Amino acid sequence: MSTVNVRIPAPLRSHTGGAAEVVATGNTLRAVIEDMGARHDGLAQRILTPEGELRPYVNVFVDGDRLQGDDVLDQPLRDGAVVSLVPAVAGGAGRARDERLDALRQSISEVTPGEARALQGQGAVLIDIREQEEIAAGSPEGALHLGRGYLELRIEDEVPDLEKPVLTLCSGGVRSLFAAEDLRRLGYRHVHSVAGGFNRWKDEGLPFSMPRMLDAAARERYSRHLLMPEVGEKGQLRLMDSRVLLVGAGGLGSPAALYLAAAGVGTLGIVDHDVVERSNLQRQVVHADDRVGQAKAESARTAVRALNPDVRVELHQVHLESGNVDTIFPGYDVILDGTDNFATRYLINDACIKHGLPNVHGAVFRFEGQVSVFWPARPGEPGPCYRCLFPEPPPPELAPSCAEAGVLGVLPGIVGLLQSVETIKLLLRTGEPLVGRLLFYDALGGRFTEMRMERDPECPYCAEGVEFPGYIDYQGFCGA
């Protein structure tokens, strides 16, 4: 057994009663430290880590030579050796990034991709915070795509419950640490960063998919939509997959065609058999002076293509009637009623009931307009149909068309756009549609009023259990 003299550095002398040197026994440094520890309370803990390793700030000299290597603690000591414990005096500002990461790793919980997958199975929300181009090459199944740039702005819409466990994932596990910290600042109490990120997720053979995404041009075109949590990429893709039928390319159909095309509705069907007249141009803004005489459906297609060439336009240059409505309506998601006559309005109502489609209704008369959504087939909350309010068309002398009564040119713009808003809401499945409510606009008074409408339980067309009674051709006796 060797007996050695150990020189104690100043910071440790409080453990040796102020002594700068103590005598200890042991054949290795480890044994010597343990021997000192037995006699000087707390000394060994200052030199060794809890795992029994030499602390990083302790250098050891034996007889003037510095001991180096992994086995410093186990190198043999000769009897009578002088052991000096020397503080490694070091530190410094450090690299800001490394500093931050070190601090983050101490405060943010990290989980492996496998653990993340298991937590996901238990209800945790996995958020892929990478950029769109990175996500395009694959993303974990079931992951939410919330780019780092908008994470804080959107997370509360996606995950309103602050108690819900949230997992952040990036490509390598660094950016997700920063994101996790931000989420914790927002109040999320159970946040974990996925160590190794998506690279390790793939390496571990965990499931991922190539998400369908907007291309760069679409991303630019719809950027204002993408900023909105109610639309976002998912909503925009949904709009692009949607099919809307505009019945009429007139005063109501004009603003609807333009704005729905601009919004990126993928397919617009246009039913119109008429031609553009100069008197239409006072309000039918989808047409143009140099297209007077052209078929309205084709003129509308020209304007839509000029605005957004990605929109598919399907033309139905026919007069909508009971004989063709069943071949035109199926396949569309929403029918936008832009007609100016009761015969077609009832036909649209009846066909929408038959095919279970929402009917976005609009009508104008001089300075007044009205909008509603008739949708008896609405899942969960069925609304009334047009017939629940007006079972039969009025007599022709009480139902003049625009051609007969006149209309303020701006008014169909407003009503057609209210219809467009309702259409978009239905397609995105967001907000409160005007189902069971009729919205009146009095342009002269500058007033909107709303009337609640109930379903008619005896409605011959939409009441529960009623068999579709067939179409009625009002054309012959209605003031169209």
Partner 1 sequence: MRTLGLEAAALQCMLERATALYPQEACGLLVGRAGRVEQALTCLNRATDRRVGYLIDPEDYLHIEQQVANAGRQVVGAWHSHPHGDAVPSETDRQLAWPDWHYLILGFRGRLPSQCRAWILNESAFEEEIIQP
Q: Could you tell me which stretch among 54-62, 246-254, 361-369, 428-436 binds partner 1 (CB under 8 A)? A: 54-62
| 3-state secondary structure at position 259 | helix
Task: Assess contact for 259 and 288: CB atoms under 8 A.
Answer: no
| 3-state secondary structure at position 217 | helix
Q: Is residue 69 part of the contact set for partner 1 (CB under 8 A)?
A: no
Q: Is residue 154 part of the contact set for partner 1 (CB under 8 A)?
A: no
Bridge partners for 66 per DSSP = 61
Interface residue with partner 1 among 23, 38, 86, 451 (CB under 8 A) is: 86
The CA distance from 6 to 27, in Å, is 13
Q: Is residue 89 part of the contact set for partner 1 (CB under 8 A)?
A: yes
User: Closest distance between partner 1 and the C-beta of residue 64, in Å?
Assistant: 9
Question: Which CB, 56 or 187, lies closer to partner 1?
Answer: 56
Q: Is residue 59 part of the contact set for partner 1 (CB under 8 A)?
A: yes
User: Closest distance between partner 1 and the C-beta of residue 439, in Å?
Assistant: 60
- Phi and psi, residue 81, nearest 5°: -65, 155
Q: Could you tell me which stretch among 4-12, 136-144, 180-188, 317-325 binds partner 1 (CB under 8 A)? A: 4-12
Q: Could you tell me which stretch among 55-63, 271-279, 308-316, 452-460 binds partner 1 (CB under 8 A)? A: 55-63
The CA distance from 173 to 71, in Å, is 33
Q: In angstroms, how far is the first alpha carbon of the chain from the final one?
A: 116
Number of neighbours of residue 7 by Cβ within 10 angstroms: 14
Interface residue with partner 1 among 14, 279, 327, 449 (CB under 8 A) is: 14
Find all residues with CB under 8 Å of 431, minimum gap 6, and list them: 230, 425
User: Closest distance between partner 1 and the C-beta of residue 432, in Å?
Assistant: 51
Interior/surface letters 192-216, b for 16+ CB within 10 angstroms, e for the rest: bbbbbbbebbbeeebebeebebbee
Q: ∠ at Cα 236 (352, 326), nearest 5°?
A: 20
The CA distance from 167 to 144, in Å, is 10
User: Closest distance between partner 1 and the C-beta of residue 68, in Å?
Assistant: 11
User: Closest distance between partner 1 and the C-beta of residue 173, in Å?
Assistant: 19
Question: Which CB, 193 or 242, lies closer to partner 1?
Answer: 193
Q: Is residue 76 part of the contact set for partner 1 (CB under 8 A)?
A: no
Question: Which CB, 94 or 395, lies closer to partner 1?
Answer: 94
Q: Is residue 56 part of the contact set for partner 1 (CB under 8 A)?
A: yes
Q: Is residue 94 part of the contact set for partner 1 (CB under 8 A)?
A: yes
Instruction: Tell which residue, 111, 121, 125, 112, has the closest CA to residue 166.
Output: 125
Question: Which CB, 94 or 445, lies closer to partner 1?
Answer: 94
| 3-state secondary structure at position 215 | coil
Residue 458 structure tokens: 């005896």
Catalytic residue ranges: 402
Q: Is residue 440 part of the contact set for partner 1 (CB under 8 A)?
A: no
Residue 447 structure tokens: 């007033």
User: Closest distance between partner 1 and the C-beta of residue 19, in Å?
Assistant: 12
Task: Assess contact for 219 and 132: CB atoms under 8 A.
Answer: yes
Q: Is residue 10 part of the contact set for partner 1 (CB under 8 A)?
A: yes
| 3-state secondary structure at position 456 | coil
Q: Is residue 91 part of the contact set for partner 1 (CB under 8 A)?
A: yes
How many residues does this entry show for the chain?
480
Which 99-128 positions form the footprint of partner 1 (CB under 8 A)?
99, 102-103
Q: Could you tell me which stretch among 93-101, 156-164, 239-247, 347-355 binds partner 1 (CB under 8 A)? A: 93-101
Number of neighbours of residue 257 by Cβ within 10 angstroms: 31
Q: Could you tell me which stretch among 3-11, 233-241, 307-315, 371-379 binds partner 1 (CB under 8 A)? A: 3-11
Please give the residue ranges that form the binding site for partner 1 (CB under 8 A).
9-11, 14, 20, 46, 56-57, 59, 61, 66, 84, 86-95, 99, 102-103
